[in-house]
Structure 1
Amino acid sequence: MENVSQKRSIGIFDRILEILLSNLNSIGSVWIFILTLLINADAFGRKLFHSPIDGVNEIVELSIVGIVFLQLGDATRKGRLPRSDGLFNLIGRRMPNFSRFHGALFDLLGAVFMGLILYGSIPLFIESYNSDFYVGVEGVFTAPVWPIKLIIIIGCTVTLLQFVVFVRRNLARPKMRPTE
């Protein structure tokens, strides 16, 4: 009985994480669309009216980082992180149990890497929030840095959780016989 409720709670956690990652990815996609409109409006404003939009460079600079971290977890979930699968797939067919271990190790290292980024990002977020760090030129355009630092923390956290889910899935896969 305990095992069934444990599996159900794991399934619920996986589903909540999947929904969260999909929503963050969607926010990143909408952000890209809005950024495209802003860049085009700035370009047309420069060319046609000799009047650029103040702060576009700063907004683009911050946005690229924010978008990457919003979409990183979903890219991880969907298996879109770059890695060489040729050797991994060959090993998987010939030594499926080693492949389970190898996959779990790869995902564990991904989780550790995200944890290290998270560990280093939290103090940067706190400092930027407490010190009111801004980008831009005062009096022309300024934007706070802390929201992007917060997005980095959120992105690292959900990506770390996705890697942990993958580790668990790899280790829970049943043992298999090699195929030729």
Structure 2
Amino acid sequence: MKSLVKLLHGLMASLNVIGAIWVLLIMLLITVDVVGRAFFNSPLFGVPEIVKISVVGLVWCQMAHTLKIGAHLRSTILLDRMPRAARRVIEIVSCILGVITFALIVYSGWDTMLEAWRIGEFEGEEPVRVPTSPIRTLVLIGAALTAIQFLVMLVDLIRGKTLHQAEAEF
């Protein structure tokens, strides 16, 4: 079980790196577009379409890893004031809801993703049409890995660890 979790965490880290590189590439693309538009009155075609679909893809590439390292925005003003037992119950319920929510994203998006591949779905108009099927697939991979990470955290909480101890191990 532990080796499977490590393998999944390696996949999460790899997708996180891909997402970070993707951010850099999008930044460069936008910069070239702005320079072309401002200085040469010649913007790059399709930049809005590429950026729009890329933001979705890169967010889902990084979602599970961000959860694993505890870097999602989290307000603990009430949680920090609660007794340990109450905090634990809330964390367990949160993990259960996380597993359910992200598993439902995978379930509800599966047929749409398959259909996008089948029909060759695209976003945008000529001259730039961006295929949506790879992004739809990334959304489902990211959601599945996030559901799995919530499950790993849930198991750790049930075994008596705190969320911070579980994060520190990996």
TM-score (norm 2): 0.88
Alignment partner of 2:31 out of 35, 40, 46: 40
Task: Mark the structure with the bigger radius of gyration.
Answer: 1
* Superposed counterparts of 1:3-152, under 5 Å: 9=1, 11-91=2-82, 94=83, 96-138=84-126, 140-152=127-139
Contact 1:114 1:156 in 2 (8 A): yes
Contact 1:25 1:70 in 2 (8 A): yes
SS at match of 1:85: coil
Which stretch shifts more, 127-136 or 26-35? 127-136
Identity %: 30
Please tell me the residue identity of whatever aligns with 1:115. Answer: A
Q: 1:51 Cα shift? A: 1.6
Q: CA RMSD in A?
A: 1.4
Q: Residue in 2 aligned with 1:157?
A: 144
Q: Residue in 1 aligned with 2:166?
A: none
Contact 1:55 1:141 in 2 (8 A): yes
Contact 1:117 1:156 in 2 (8 A): yes
Aligned partners of 1:149 and 1:162: how far apart in 2?
Answer: 20
Aligned residues: 161
Contact 1:132 1:144 in 2 (8 A): yes
Question: Structure 1: which 5+ runs fail to align?
Answer: 1-8, 175-180
